[in-house]
Amino acid sequence: MPSAALRAALADWTQALQAKGRAAGTVRAYGDDVARYLSFLAGHRGPEGPAAVAALPQADLRAFMAHEQGRGVSARTMARRLSAVKAFTRWLMDREGADATAVLSARAPRYRRKLPRPLSEDGARLVIGAVGDDARADWIAARDVAVATLLYACGLRISEALSLTGAELPLPDTLRIRGKGGRTRIVPVLPAAQAAVARYAALCPFDLAPEGPLFRGARGGPLHARLIQAAMERARARLGLPATATPHALRHSFATHLLSAGGDLRTIQELLGHASLATTQGYTAVDAARLIEVYAAAHPRG
């Protein structure tokens, strides 16, 4: 088990991440990754203090990575764990004044990034129209359609849509969205999204107070993402769409369809709130792959 000082340091670090506005899921994943690292070190080297862990030689980090890979951890997950370890080590270095050069210079294993899996334009329209079909009340159907419309029309993450409050009513022409890493962006709101949210607000039986959540569950509490995911699952099953037709696929579809219509990458990066243009560039690979599929289907075969 890691020393008490290291456990306390880990708790302080995760609190610092939360204070910076990092998403709860990210903080939890990073905390778990670093806890695995510290537990390994406790067995590998014995109890260590924070300063000693920050100044470890790279051989110990490589031993941890080899241990995790031996357990079947994928290169993608290992890259995330290394990112978490580096972030924690950098924080320890600043706090303890230790030399963390060895750990911070370690390279992550290479892996092939998965391409986004967007829906076609027709598929996006169909699933948004069907997402509320089996809801038990008209207001719940309108709610599910409104959330799905925001994901597609504004390129929001589901967590971003569900973080909106009643203060946004009536929905303005632009929204200020706080996304991953506490980054804020301005997103234009299409009339279709305004109309969908207005219909939901008119039917919702609960008081959508400015300080409360905009989207509510059946009992009036905050709406959970899992309910929208389940509604999407039922809709795609009825429509015969693939399992990749998820709420997040609507965000991917927003970006891909913008790119197909001539949108430039920098603008799409800003609308999505990506920290790096490299992330947004994944959509160019999707667009090229779709063009190749169309060409292969249309090309005459001798």
Report DSSP state, residue 219. T
Angle between the N-to-C axes of helices 58-70 and 24-45, in degrees from 0 to 180, rounded to the nearest 10: 110
Residue with tokens 């699933």: 127
Residue 44 annotated to the active site: no
Residues whose CB falls within 8 Å of the CB of residue 25, separated by 6 or more in sequence, listed in order: 159
Instruction: Return the closest-CA partner of residue 197 out of 143, 161, 158.
Output: 143
Task: Note whether 27 and 66 are within 8 A (CB).
Answer: no
- Angle among Cα 20, 21, 24 to the nearest 5 degrees reads 120
Q: What is the dihedral of CA 22, 24, 27, 31, to 10 degrees?
A: 170
Catalytic residue among 86, 236, 257, 274: 274
248 is catalytic: yes
Residue 262, sorted as left (phi over 0), alpha (psi -120 to 50) or beta, turns out to be left
Residue 114 designated active-site: no
Pick the catalytic residue from 80, 234, 248, 290.
248
- Give the separation between CA 78 and CA 88, rounded to whole angstroms: 15
Q: Comparing C-alpha atoms, which of 89, 84, 87, 44 is closest to residue 64?
A: 44
Q: Which residues of 62-79 are buried (b: 16+ CB within 10 A; e: fewer)?
A: eebbeebeeeebeeebbb
Catalytic-labelled residue, pool 36, 251, 252, 257: 251
Catalytic residue among 80, 180, 185, 234: 180
User: What's the one-letter identity of residue 159?
Assistant: S
Catalytic entry in 81, 86, 143, 157: 157
95 is catalytic: no
Please give the positions annotated as active site: 157, 180, 248, 251, 274, 283
